[in-house]
Each structure stands twice: as C-alpha cells, then as structure tokens.
Structure 1
Amino acid sequence: MSGKKPSGSPAKTPSAKRKQSEGDGVDANIASSVSVAIELALARQQDSLEAAVIRAVQGAIDGMRNSIDNLERKVEAYMETVKELVAKVDRVQAETRAMKREVSSNTSGLEKMRLKVASLEDQDRRNNVRITGIATGREGGDAIAFLQDMLPK
C-alpha cells in the first residue's frame, strides 16, 4: 500500500491515540503469531518433505542394492561355471596333446613295421628255391606231394 494511514478520523485525544496504538500492538502481536505459526507450519512441511524424499531415495537405493546383490550372485555363479569350463578345456587340451604324441609315435612305429615287412618279403623272395627243368603246371593240385615224390628221383 502507499504507506498513508487510511483516511478516517484522526485520533485527536490522548486516550484515542492510546487506543489506536494499542490496536496497532494487537495487530502486531497477531501478525507476529501468524508469522510464527506459518514458520512452524513451513518447518513441519519441510521436515515432512525431507523425510519423504529420504524415504524415497532410501527405497530407490535399497532396490538398487538388492539388484546389485542379485547381479553379484549371478556373476559369481557364472564365474564358477567359467572356472569349471576352463578346467575342462585344460584337461581336454592336455589329453589332446598326449593323444597327438601317441599318434605320432604309432605312426612312426607303423612306418618301421612297413619297412620291416617289406624287408622280410624281399628276403623271402631271395630265399626261394628254383627248380628248373620241370614243366609248369606239372605238379597238379598238390605241389608238396609232387616235390616229395619228384626230389628223391
């Protein structure tokens, strides 16, 4: 407002002035009481809002904490599975290396056996007895009986 007193009859007597100043004191007390009441209400409202915000934030944090705990448990379970798989892969690789060594050894042994068989076949051919002067196919179906009969003659 403009700061002027409302136009009315100005207090001309001291008792009227006193009554007017007492009225101003009552208004000031009421205004002060209302101001205090408003401040208290605002403080309570602020406390209530702070508590609500704290509960909401705490609820969100608890939810995230539970989710994180669940994820940690799942990751730990997966890590155990991965460790088991790594151990199995290591065992399979070790077995594969051993089998490769065995196959290599068997292959070289087989090659040695082939050479030996070829050598024995060659030696066997060198030790064959040749009989000359007898017509081919004369022995009939039993070559051993023919030779037993023919050699002493």
Structure 2
Amino acid sequence: MDSKQAQVEKIIFVDGYQEEVLAMPLGPNLYRLEESSMLSDARYHDVIEVERQPNGVLRLVRVVTPSGLKTTTWILQQTVFESERIKLLLDKVVSGGGAWEITFGGVLMVHLPLGEVPLFVKVFSDELTKLSKLRAQDEGVGNGPNTEDRST
C-alpha cells in the first residue's frame, strides 16, 4: 500500500452503510478522510481506524482524531457555484486553512478552523442574499447553514 497517495476505499460505517470515499493511508488500519462521508458522521480530515474485511472492504472501528474543523453545510442551486464572488470566497476558505466540497450536485460543505466560522457564515450568507436579489426570486437560496462541530 502506498502511504503517500490518497485512494478511493469502500468503507462500511457503524450503521452498516457502505460508501466509497477518498482516504489517505497513514499506517496500519489508519486513514485520513480526504472527503466527507455522506452516510455517516465521519468528515473531511477525520483520522479513522478501520479493519480490512476478507473482501477488501474497510469496516470503520472508530474516529481516532476528529479533524478539528467545523463543518457548515448549505443546499444551493448550481448557478450559485458559478458565481465568481462565491468562487473567491471558497478560495479564501482554502487559503485560510479550511476546505470545501460539493456533493449531490448542490450540497456545499465548508470545513473551517474554529475561529473562522462565525465570520464566514455571515459573509457567505450575505453573499447569498446579494445573489438572490440579483437573480430571480429564490434562485440559489437553499436550506442552510447547518453547522457541525468536529473539534472534539
């Protein structure tokens, strides 16, 4: 196993759901998630302990180390992701030590260092409000934000 390259792994999570996620091998039975699970509570950059099953699938034993990031989620229309202003905000997330991912074509998950969350949520929400005023009513505005603390 190449411990320097992230790879797609099938993982069986605690509730029995199986999902393919990008994960970086860190050592025997340890992986760092490079993307969030959509079927469990495991999130981007959590370090997990797994057991390899005879069929090659990994079974989650536990989250060894949570990422230390706070995850905020919005459900948005595709047109929002095409906005240059939103792209600039997401670039700032990365340059500030965070990350973001889009799943299911419209679920935006933003992973931020703890101190950055309140300001980002305000700025991002303000930007969505501006976009909605520039576009047809309700375009680009979904449910959110929903914040999840992964710092413990």
TM-score range, shorter chain: under 0.3
Identify the structure with bigger relative contact order (alpha carbons < 8 Å, sequence gap 6+): 2
Q: Tell which structure's C-alpha radius of gyration is larger.
A: 1
Q: Which has more strand, going by share of residues?
A: 2
Q: Which has more helix, going by share of residues?
A: 1
- Please, what TM-score do these two structures have when normalized by structure 2? 0.18
